[in-house]
Amino acid sequence: MSDDVNDVGGSGYSLEDLSAYLDRGRTPRIPAIERNAECQALLASMERMGRLSREIVDEQASEPLAESWYDGIMREVMREFRAGRDIPLARAEDGTELVVTEGALYELIRTVGDEVPGVLVGRVRLDQAEAAAPLDVRVTVSVLFGHPMEQTVERMRQGIRDAIQRHGDLRVGRVDVTVGDVHLEGEDEG
């Protein structure tokens, strides 16, 4: 295992520790986890994944899932929610720089998806050619069958743009939202 997996966000806790903490209902409270943004983003993602996987298992109970299914999802979650590179927000006159991590932006974008009815967020990609350049966002989503795709995608696109500018004070360039799948009512987490 890499050091990132053994020490999520500098909290002193591993992915396995976070999983056990979540399984215990986050009790007793561990301040080092509760105050760590990367740990919080990872826990939120694990909760979301847990809800979705329970729904899939309930729906397809007659077909056993391969062990690699869970491992693949956890690899993607860890890849996205490692803090990643720092993205500059502002620089003070004394040279102090305020930054946001890629992981925090991934979670912000996933939260926007949670607020758009009928949307499940898949892959999220952030691109910024250089520190002063606008941030480009690429998101793949699944839309609930029957929801108008054009309006749903536009709501997601605008929600991402607004959330990043409001919370991150970043210049946002392109926001590409691709519908990669359509899901049925029972598959929606909300």
Let me know whether 188 and 108 are in one domain: yes
Q: Which two tokens stand for residue 147?
A: 């929801």
**CA pair distance 182, 31, nearest whole angstrom:** 40
Q: How confident is the model at residue 171 (pLDDT cuts 50, 70, 90)?
A: confident
* Domain presence at residue 142: yes
**CA pair distance 77, 81, nearest whole angstrom:** 6
**CA pair distance 142, 119, nearest whole angstrom:** 6
As beta bridge partners, residue 82 has none
- Report CA dihedral (49, 71, 141, 117) to the nearest 10 degrees: -10
Domain residues for 74?
1-83
User: Average of pLDDT values for 126-147?
Assistant: 86
Let me know whether 38 and 71 are in one domain: yes
* Domain presence at residue 94: no
* Domain presence at residue 107: yes
Let me know whether 120 and 169 are in one domain: yes
Report whether pLDDT(131) > 80: no
Q: What is the CATH number of the domain that holds 122?
A: 3.30.70.1350
Please answer whether residues 38 and 63 qualify as being in contact, where contact means their C-beta atoms are separated by less than 8 angstroms: no
* Domain presence at residue 89: no
Mind giving me the DSSP string for 98-116? EEEEHHHHHHHHHHHHHHS
Let me know whether 106 and 174 are in one domain: yes
Q: Where are the beta strands (DSSP E) in the chain?
A: 86-91, 97-101, 119-127, 135-144, 172-183
Domain tally, the chain: 2
**CA pair distance 102, 81, nearest whole angstrom:** 8
Q: What is the reported pLDDT for 178?
A: 93
pLDDT, tens digit, 9 for 90 and up, residues 69-124: 556 666 666 655 555 667 766 666 777 777 777 778 888 888 898 899 988 888 88
pTM of the model: 0.56
